[in-house]
Amino acid sequence: MDRTRRTICATGPLAAALALVGCATSGSSGTVGSREAAIAELGGTGKLRAAINLGNPILASRAANGDLQGVSVDLAREAARRLALTPELVPFTSAGSVVEAVKGRQVDLAFVAIDPVRAADMEYTAPYVIIEGAYLVRHDSALQRNEEVDRTGTRVVVGRGSAYDLFLTRELRAATLVRAPTSPAVTDMFLAERLDVAAGVRQQLEADARRVGGVRLLPGRFMVIEQAMGVPKGRGAARTWLSGFIEEMKASGFVADALRRHGIEGAGVAPPMRT
């Protein structure tokens, strides 16, 4: 919705959602007015359509019964509860497809890594989780340090459209980027095509190393990834309300509890937003 159109005449499911705002239970983020404006921008369908990226195992995965689970799932459901909207979890297999869904306004919010390229089509909250990007090589690789990767002739495979893809596209000067369809497909493509380096989220690469054997992670990290909530460009009221919501979820321990509950290691709760 256009920023200037903050006063609306709502009907149907949106009107019902707005009427329920006053009945929302404990833990309301922001003022009633800001919440109403957020509902107007996020709840046009009567639902909160949240993009869930299954390509990043720190954020989300499928349980044994097929249900979606993870810190992003928990945050989406809690935000929907506070906005008196029905949560609709929309799964995707890659960050790139999530970003396209936000640009196409097929979803109302997403959980994505902050990146200046994406900011052209998306408004971010402050980050709620910080994770690390790492490199994977074969045991017999001559590469020993992250700084050695950016050399002529080195081929680095990365998930298309991921935060790592966007970052390395800007940062690598000599190495060649090769793009896999999704982040979970990176290691298999790295092995199948005899590439030199696989790049991605540390936890995914660690799991892949245990699965395939004969590989190792380079020490340290090549980037820090800030994961935030994002909404389509122009939905300033939604971003403002979600920003307050995220800060409350960090301060209350909700994010830390979700990471522990889902067995996520190596990811940390982002620090409070600087004011």
Asked if residue 183 belongs to a domain, the reply is: yes
pLDDT at position 229, please?
Answer: 96
CA distance 182 to 97: 9
- Is residue 23 located within the same domain as residue 87? yes
Asked if residue 275 belongs to a domain, the reply is: no
Domain count, the chain: 2
- Is residue 189 located within the same domain as residue 232? no
- Is residue 251 located within the same domain as residue 264? yes
Place of tokens 């900011």: 119
Asked if residue 6 belongs to a domain, the reply is: no
- Is residue 118 located within the same domain as residue 70? yes
Mean pLDDT, residues 240-266 taken together: 94
pLDDT at position 33, please?
Answer: 53
The CATH number of residue 59's host domain is 3.40.190.10
- Is residue 214 located within the same domain as residue 193? yes
Q: Residue 17 pLDDT more than 90?
A: no
Secondary structure in 3-state letters for 123-137: EECCCCEEEEEEEEE
Residue at which a domain ends, from 189, 205, 224: 224
Q: Residue 138 pLDDT more than 70?
A: yes
Whole-angstrom distance between the N-terminal and C-terminal Cα of the chain?
A: 27
Mean pLDDT, residues 203-230 taken together: 94
CA distance 228 to 110: 8
| Structure confidence at residue 2 as a pLDDT band (50, 70, 90) | very low
Asked if residue 70 belongs to a domain, the reply is: yes
Asked if residue 194 belongs to a domain, the reply is: yes
Task: Express each pLDDT in 21-46 by its tens digit.
Answer: 333 333 445 445 599 999 999 988 88
Closest to 176 in 3D by CA, of 202, 149, 194, 201:
149
- Is residue 22 located within the same domain as residue 91? yes
Identify whether the C-beta of residue 92 lies closer than 8 Å to the C-beta of residue 54: yes
Domain that holds residue 193: 132-224
- Is residue 16 located within the same domain as residue 75? yes
- Is residue 53 located within the same domain as residue 180? no
- Is residue 99 located within the same domain as residue 40? yes
pLDDT at position 50, please?
Answer: 98
Q: Residue 148 pLDDT more than 60?
A: yes
- Is residue 59 located within the same domain as residue 152? no
Asked if residue 2 belongs to a domain, the reply is: no
CA distance 57 to 247: 23
Asked if residue 60 belongs to a domain, the reply is: yes
Q: In terms of pTM, does the model score above 0.85?
A: no
Asked if residue 7 belongs to a domain, the reply is: no
- Is residue 125 located within the same domain as residue 244? yes
Rounded to the nearest integer, the mean pLDDT of the chain is: 87
- Is residue 89 located within the same domain as residue 25? yes
